[in-house]
């Protein structure tokens, strides 16, 4: 499907001053728990911040690679293992190597006061010890985010056209922030757009991780747009889909971008079509779009995709449920994820009785990495 950039009229332009800041939170090394950082993540969300949380046991390389792709305003690192004098220099080295020195890095954890000056000298923007007041932390990261400078759009476009991943990430942000790109539109590209939708909890992110890595194993370039809900109260969001996809070493041809829904109805987010267009024009073979945990009427993905996959799980419905209008109608194929659980065969039989054999049904287990061969074959054959 060829997705064209939408014309940005006055009524559609985003108020740039109201775009939430983006914060990446990382747990690096062998810290065994993340209870504290999860509490902070929710506090940031409640303060109107978009939080990309990458989960436990991340590497320095994966963390900074994620910061580049997500084009965050601040990177926050949580360390409880007393490894800060080893980890932080490596993060700062990678930041420079990747050309993203404009992104400040802050540190929270058990850090002796005597080490603070050394950390500031090497380039850490702020240090927070246990007992730091959450409101003070939020104020500090907001101030750091406010120092962000925008690159000239003409420069971004020129670097994008030279296959610069940093320019790709920043151009997506430029569109998300409502800046006018003038008459420029990305190349049409030949990417197939795969929509993955389904109710919360069916395992969309884990499924996409397995699917994306198997497509990469076949030499295909893959981009993922992962959409999570924005808070209707604060506008913040906890963007947690990425943590299920960050496995193994960073891969420049497996690009993941987390977006917040921004209150947009239908399962997508603001300017999702424009983001897909930019990714397609960059030369990816497949752009996989993960919708917000969808309800029966969240069908906007149908207009954006070449193929819509609806994920279900065992015992997620019956013949009447599967016969209802809406999301069941737009699916080109069905995936019963978590097929290692009881009830998968019964769900398949009920679904087959309703939809017949015109649309494929696959059973997979993302946990066990089983059943993906036929799914990947079907996508490659599109």
Domain ranges of the chain: 17-145, 151-184, 192-380
What are the CA-CA distances from residue 325 to residues 2, 92, 93, 166, 200 (Å)? 27, 52, 53, 42, 19
Equal fold, 17-145 vs 192-380: yes
CA distance 240 to 205: 9
pTM of the predicted model, to two decimals? 0.92
What are the CA-CA distances from residue 186 to residues 183, 192, 280, 306, 320 (Å)? 10, 16, 8, 19, 44
Strand partners, 256: 224
Class of domain 17-145 as given by CATH: alpha beta
Which residue, among 213, 302, 268, 243, has the nearest Cα to 1 in the 3D structure? 302
- 282, 188 in Cβ contact below 8 A? no
Q: Which fold has domain 192-380?
A: Rossmann fold (3.40.50)
Strand partners, 226: 258, 290
CA distance 287 to 109: 37
Pairing of strands 50-53, 237-239: parallel
Write the Ramachandran bin of 307: left for phi over 0, alpha for psi from -120 to 50, otherwise beta: beta
Structure tokens at 372: 């993906």
Q: Whose structure tokens read 């050394």?
A: 118
Pairing of strands 74-79, 237-239: unpaired
Which residue, among 87, 82, 96, 85, has the nearest Cα to 26 in the 3D structure? 87
| CB-based contacts of 159, cutoff 8 Å, min separation 6 | 166, 167
CA distance 382 to 371: 19
Strand partners, 80: none
Three-state SS sequence of the chain: CCCCCCCCCCCCCCCHHHCCCEEEEEEECCCCCCHHHHHHHHHHHHCCCEEEECCCCECHHHHHHHHHHHCCCEEEEEECCCCHHHHHHHHHHHHHHHCCCCCCEEEEECCCHHHHHHHHHHCCCEEECCCCCHHHHHHHHHHHHCCCCCCCHHHHHHHHCCCCHHHHHHHHHHHHCCCCCCCCCCCCCCCEEEEEEECCCCCHHHHHHHHHHHHHHCCCCEEEEEEECECCCCCCEEECHHHHCCCCCCCCCEEEEEEECCCCCCCCCCCHHHHHHHHHHHCCCEEEEECCCCCCCCCHHHHCCCEEEEEECCCCCCHHHHHCCCHHHHCCEEEECCCCCCCHHHHHHHHHHHHCCCCCEEECECCCCECHHHHHHHHHCC
- Length in residues, the chain: 382
Per-residue pLDDT of the chain (382 residues; tens, 9 = 90+): 544 444 333 333 344 446 899 999 999 987 767 788 889 999 999 999 999 998 888 899 999 999 999 999 999 999 987 899 999 999 999 999 999 999 999 999 889 999 999 999 999 999 999 889 999 999 999 999 999 998 999 999 999 999 999 999 999 999 998 888 889 999 999 999 999 999 999 999 999 999 999 999 999 999 999 999 999 999 999 998 888 887 778 899 999 999 999 978 888 988 999 999 999 999 999 999 999 987 777 899 999 999 999 999 998 766 667 766 688 899 999 999 999 999 999 999 999 998 999 999 999 999 999 999 999 999 999 9
Residue 177: other Cβ atoms inside 10 A: 17
Q: Whose structure tokens read 């198997």?
A: 214
* Structure confidence at residue 7 (pLDDT): 38
């Amino acid at each position: 499907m060829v997705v064209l950039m939408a014309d940005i009229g006055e009524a559609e332009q985003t108020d740039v001053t109201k775009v939430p800041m983006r914060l990446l939170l990382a747990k690096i090394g062998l810290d065994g728990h993340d209870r504290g950082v999860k509490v902070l993540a929710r506090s940031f969300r409640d303060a109107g911040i978009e939080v990309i949380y990458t989960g436990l046991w991340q590497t320095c390389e994966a963390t900074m690679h994620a910061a580049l792709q997500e084009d965050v305003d601040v990177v926050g690192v949580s360390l409880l293992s007393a490894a800060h004098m080893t980890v932080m220099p490596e993060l700062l080295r990678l930041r420079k190597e990747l050309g993203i020195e404009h992104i400040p890095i802050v540190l929270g954890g058990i850090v002796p006061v005597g080490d603070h000056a050394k950390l500031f000298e090497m380039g850490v923007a702020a240090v927070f010890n246990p007992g730091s007041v959450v409101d003070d932390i939020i104020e500090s990261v907001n101030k750091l985010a406010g120092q962000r400078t925008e690159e000239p759009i003409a420069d971004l476009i020129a670097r994008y056209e030279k296959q610069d991943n940093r320019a790709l990430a920043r151009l997506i942000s430029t569109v998300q922030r409502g800046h006018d790109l003038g008459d420029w539109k990305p190349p049409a590209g030949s990417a197939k757009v795969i929509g993955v939708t389904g109710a919360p909890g069916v395992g969309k992110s884990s499924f996409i991780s397995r699917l994306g890595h198997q497509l990469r194993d076949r030499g295909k370039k893959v981009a993922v747009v992962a959409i999570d809900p924005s808070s209707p109260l604060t506008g913040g969001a906890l963007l947690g889909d990425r943590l299920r996809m960050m496995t193994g070493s960073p891969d420049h041809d497996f690009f993941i971008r987390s977006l917040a829904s921004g209150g947009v109805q239908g399962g997508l987010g603001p300017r999702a079509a424009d983001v897909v267009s930019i990714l397609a024009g960059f030369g990816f073979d497949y752009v996989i779009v993960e919708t917000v945990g969808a309800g029966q009427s969240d069908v906007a993905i149908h207009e954006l995709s070449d193929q819509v996959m609806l994920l279900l799980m065992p015992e997620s419905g019956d013949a009447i449920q599967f016969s209802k209008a809406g999301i069941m109608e737009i699916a080109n194929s069905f995936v019963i994820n978590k097929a290692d659980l009881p009830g998968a065969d019964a769900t398949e039989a009920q679904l087959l009785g309703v939809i017949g054999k015109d649309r494929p049904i696959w059973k997979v287990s993302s946990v066990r990495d089983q059943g993906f061969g036929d799914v990947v074959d079907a996508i490659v054959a599109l």
